[in-house]
Structure 1
């Protein structure tokens, strides 16, 4: 067999006294797709970031990382900048922070060529976005990133990573914001477009269809887990339905939102009752997140009406907890986690609370979402994507919340963590909290939802 394109030996990554990865050995040969799976916070993303040379200080890296025979561990940041984009393509986990908000989407994607002083091939960006099922790409590349959905931005970031056709692509959860058809389009494009693909994913069922080898991270080490090629994982057991109140807590009648970009929300009607879980599904870019912003009162509809407890208008302050799709971006980067978790408390309570009390409240909230061992004084940048997702959920549940709006709350989670979050949402509903849940995984959420609303 020929020499591997990626050859990692004895890779150990430590932060102070904590070892995240221990003596990892991994190789990827030409034409191979290798997947890494494992629970949230296990070190999957750390491995990719070590290869790219973008670990945050004070990370200590030992061992060897060879790409096409050249060791990267001792390279300078200047060397790494030369390699990124040409030798190493990277699809990050968070599509919302992958683009400069002051540039158009097309200009952001074009940076893949321009930063290397290359000319953008005529029509290439539009062609690539068309292949990823982005409608009206020639028009939409002139829009700002904030007007695109998370799933659309995810596909745009894949287009950027493939700009210069690097032989090695590292992809961190490249399908977590996508519906199933687009997830398959992206993985097919990645596997066909690179000489070697190293992918991190929580979706074992999906990567089994594309990976030649699968490894699982356990205790900071890699354990080979051959693709099962088995039948799809069974959905969670259906939630036991209970009688719901006749009167809705929130009603939306024919709400519409139009943006100058052409995106928005078509006329949509729904009712939400105490103790009810309403699931909102639909393709990427259909308007699911827009609907949640309208229900929360963050934006106002252009047509239609909203009423809370029979009164016109959005919910009152403090009644709604929100889990945004961009979980990491919703946490203040300069604040410790406990400050973000206690942020929704009304100022008169939050300002009078001691640091000790705030830490205790945050620990209780984090324990509720399965993060009881997480240090609440850490900063968001030290979290994995799945941990950030659950911290955002913990924050949304602090206070007297009567309605929880959750935008793709399980998208970045492994199967076990996702099941835990769904069980939590079910328990909240059983206790009388109204829940509106946005998800592209209809087969899963319809098992716990009382009502499913699909946006065309």
Structure 2
């Protein structure tokens, strides 16, 4: 018996359960065959004239859309566009200072103005929710099974065994190979992809008619992203669940949704069937979003990247600015030993970008920690600009780091929130006692100007900056010492696609002008194709494939590389859907 059939048997035991949400042996017809709660047909969700204000300041303006039974609708736009606010209005989860007006009808019933106690019967049972960050959405000191008990209260099952079996069945249904182990695990013992599957499983456990997924894959590797999106697509088909998907990634939305609704500054820019909106966007904002998607425009920065390619060709017979040879690093010993990096080698010519790609746990982060001298290799050598880092004394290593800088992944946590922008950028100069105080201040402002930050921002603290502005500050901080090499650790993964495009163009322009050498760590292969010249594909601590980006992407030799490339979103109508080997 399939997992969804066994789960249906358990759900059938619930006293008083409506047939509308109980799947039979043909779960894809369950919701479609059942009448709406008010006995009428029509869209499952209808939003009309929705406006939301916080303390009198309106942030969402007159939003309207409909979502049919079994359909998917994507709300897309940058941070601050109002996507999540619209979703939380539908879920009645706005903070106390938020006030929503207009009409929201679910299965023909007006729900925006009903008392919270009445709406609570719908939330979870009929309207499920998958939050953005699985790591912060689960209690770290309770097992998955203990937290799942809360979801089983919505099932009205009459025994502890039946509730446990229902949880185990839904964990199997969402593709977790060992449900018993997951049930007994704490959140920190599971990967991000597994945690997101747990949240999806708990959300669909009561068989809701509508599932609201708020950026469900934004923090996940590209292959895990594909698996989660495939899972949501499969559950839609099997359980006839309608999906309201919130995302800033137009390529993901265009691949997975039947209809799109584009938001900017809380206003609808355009909406309609995915194929129509994607093929011929009518608003300038949607056209800009389209242009900023790396998967759709791999050669957008070809002219800037060509400068580095010329340098790579000219230096073909010379040692690289970075030389990593046979490097290994093991943590622990005996049966518990973890070979985080195993015989890794690569060379990066001066003035070019080398990408390290692979799933979580592939060894990318340990490799760059070795490169930065934050870890010592067990074997192998690392040379930067002719200097052997492993043989360096602490003083020599400190001097080497002056020419080897790092831009962190998350601009929201990598900057001291107490300091103003000028001090943040000036601090490396202060630590190395470069010039006079006046000279350091002037050099910090020059670095800020080089990354396109306006003069009036230098007196602000990070909290007063946007995500893109914060990452520009982080890049200026890395540039201020005039380094030879910059390590970029997922520098755009926390940013919207349009802000990401600005940062990528900035990095390539700085490289073309200054001859900077980059090591770029990323799980986004579409972005790597835009930015890098050479690439190493890592899996379980080893390099499984390497070469120029053109060769590896166009003629991959390994199944693992082909699987990574197959995970790049392909919008409907642009190409035949690729299958993972």
Counterpart position of 1:221: 267
Unaligned runs of 5+ in 2: 1-39, 158-162, 280-294, 432-436, 540-581
Secondary structure of 1:419's partner? Answer: helix
Secondary structure of 2:275's partner? Answer: coil
CA distance in 2, matches of 1:262, 1:144: 21
Distance 1:102 1:300, change over 3 A: farther
Moved more, 67-76 or 17-26: 67-76
Alignment of 1:365-404 (within 5 A): 368=452, 379=463, 388=467, 391-392=470-471, 394-398=473-477, 399-400=480-481, 402=483, 403-404=485-486
CA distance in 2, matches of 1:340, 1:126: 50
Counterpart position of 1:406: 488
Query: Which of structures 1 and 2 has the bigger CA Rg?
Result: 2
Moved more, 275-284 or 254-263: 254-263
Counterpart position of 2:66: 27
Q: Deviations over 1:178-225 (max 9, x none)?
A: 455543432232244352211112332332233221111134212214
- Picking from 291, 294, 297, the partner of 1:234 is 297
CA contact (8 A) 1:256 1:268 kept: no
TM-score, normalised with respect to structure 2: 0.61
CA distance in 2, matches of 1:453, 1:83: 49
Counterpart position of 1:323: 408
How far did 1:19 drift?
A: 3.3
Counterpart position of 1:251: 324
Alignment of 1:109-188 (within 5 A): 110=148, 113=151, 119-120=163-164, 121=166, 123-124=168-169, 126-128=171-173, 131=175, 145-146=187-188, 150-178=192-220, 181-188=223-230
Counterpart position of 1:207: 253
Moved more, 440-449 or 338-347: 338-347
CA distance in 1, matches of 2:339, 2:185: 11
CA contact (8 A) 2:420 2:458 kept: no
Secondary structure of 2:148's partner? Answer: helix
Unaligned runs of 5+ in 1: none
TM-score, normalised with respect to structure 1: 0.75
CA distance in 2, matches of 1:125, 1:297: 45
Counterpart position of 2:344: 268
Q: Deviations over 1:347-390 (max 9, x none)?
A: 957xxx9xxx9xx96995897489x999955749xx9xxx5466
How far did 1:36 drift?
A: 1.3
How far did 1:453 drift?
A: 0.7
Higher relative contact order (CA 8 A, sep 6+): 1
CA contact (8 A) 2:47 2:103 kept: yes
CA distance in 2, matches of 1:313, 1:16: 60
CA contact (8 A) 2:381 2:388 kept: no
Q: Deviations over 1:400-450 (max 9, x none)?
A: 373443344444555433322221221233324332223333244123212
Moved more, 387-396 or 27-36: 387-396
1:92 aligned to 2:139? no
CA contact (8 A) 1:365 1:394 kept: no
Counterpart position of 2:77: 38
Distance 1:87 1:122, change over 3 A: closer
1:452 aligned to 2:535? yes
1:71 aligned to 2:100? no
Q: Deviations over 1:302-343 (max 9, x none)?
A: 66555553221796466432322x6656577xx479579938
CA contact (8 A) 2:299 2:530 kept: yes
How far did 1:168 drift?
A: 1.8
How far did 1:24 drift?
A: 0.9
More helix by share: 2
Secondary structure of 1:208's partner? Answer: helix
Q: Deviations over 1:96-132 (max 9, x none)?
A: 423334445x458636636769733363365245x2x
How many equivalent residue pairs?
439
